[in-house]
């Protein structure tokens, strides 16, 4: 019982902490819903450079705030999403992208899953083909004689 109560208190504290944190993030008003959507998706896809694994829309770190301000300013300035992402990568590195770009360095990252699926498929195909060949082959005279004797032994017993 005490354990459950403790767990409940812990959960409540966590919940309160997360709402408190959300309170620290400024609210921005947009006239244009498309702009608002772009702002949301940009700030959700950029990673805070100083907190581990938090998007800048979810972090009250000073640098995240600066980045959100910059995203907002650049949006108002009529810049494209791509330009804004490039702007951040130029300063904070590829680390800030939650979706790493497909380039030489990340080729393995993107290619490995597809490569493994392909390799698995080839393996399965090979095994299936080998089995089919093995079962379709005719029995040799020797094998037939052995089979015959096994069957006969079964009958006599």
Q: Which stretches of the chain bind another protein, using CB under 8 A?
A: 49-50, 52, 61-63, 66, 70, 89-95
9 or 127: whose CB is closer to another protein?
Answer: 127
Helix ranges, 24-106 (H): 33-45, 62-76, 81-92
* Backbone dihedral angles phi then psi of residue 31, each to the nearest 5 degrees: -80, -30
Nearer to another protein, 39 or 68 (CB): 68
Q: Directed axis angle between helix 62-76 and helix 33-45, to 10°?
A: 140
We find the least distance from the C-beta atom of residue 157 to another protein, in angstroms, to be: 34
Torsion on CA atoms 116, 45, 96, 26, rounded to nearest 10: -160
Judged by CB, which is closer to another protein: 25, or 89? 89
Q: How far is the CB of 91 from another protein (least distance, A)?
A: 4
Shortest distance (Å) from residue 59 CB to another protein: 11
Structure tokens at 57: 């829309």
Report the residue number, 62 or 154, with the smaller CB distance to another protein.
62
Question: With respect to another protein, which residue has the nearer C-beta, 28 or 87?
Answer: 87
CB of 77 to another protein, least distance (A): 15
Least separation in angstroms between residue 50's CB and another protein is 4
**Helix, strand, or coil (residue 47):** strand
Q: Which residues of 106-116 are buried (b: 16+ CB within 10 A; e: fewer)?
A: eeeeeeeeeee
């Amino acid at each position: 019982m005490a354990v459950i109560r403790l767990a409940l208190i812990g959960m409540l504290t966590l919940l309160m902490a997360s709402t408190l944190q959300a309170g620290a993030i400024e609210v921005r008003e947009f006239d244009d819903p498309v702009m608002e959507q772009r702002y949301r998706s940009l700030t959700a896809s950029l990673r805070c450079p100083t907190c581990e694994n938090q998007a800048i829309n979810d972090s009250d770190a000073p640098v995240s705030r600066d980045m959100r301000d910059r995203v907002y300013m650049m949006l108002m300035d009529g810049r494209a999403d791509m330009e804004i992402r490039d702007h951040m990568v130029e300063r904070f590195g590829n680390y800030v992208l939650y979706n790493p770009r497909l380039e030489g360095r990340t080729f393995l990252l993107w290619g490995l899953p597809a490569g493994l699926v392909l390799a698995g498929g080839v393996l399965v195909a090979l095994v299936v083909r080998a089995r089919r060949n093995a079962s379709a082959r005719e029995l040799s005279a020797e094998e037939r004689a052995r089979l015959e004797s096994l069957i006969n032994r079964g009958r006599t017993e």
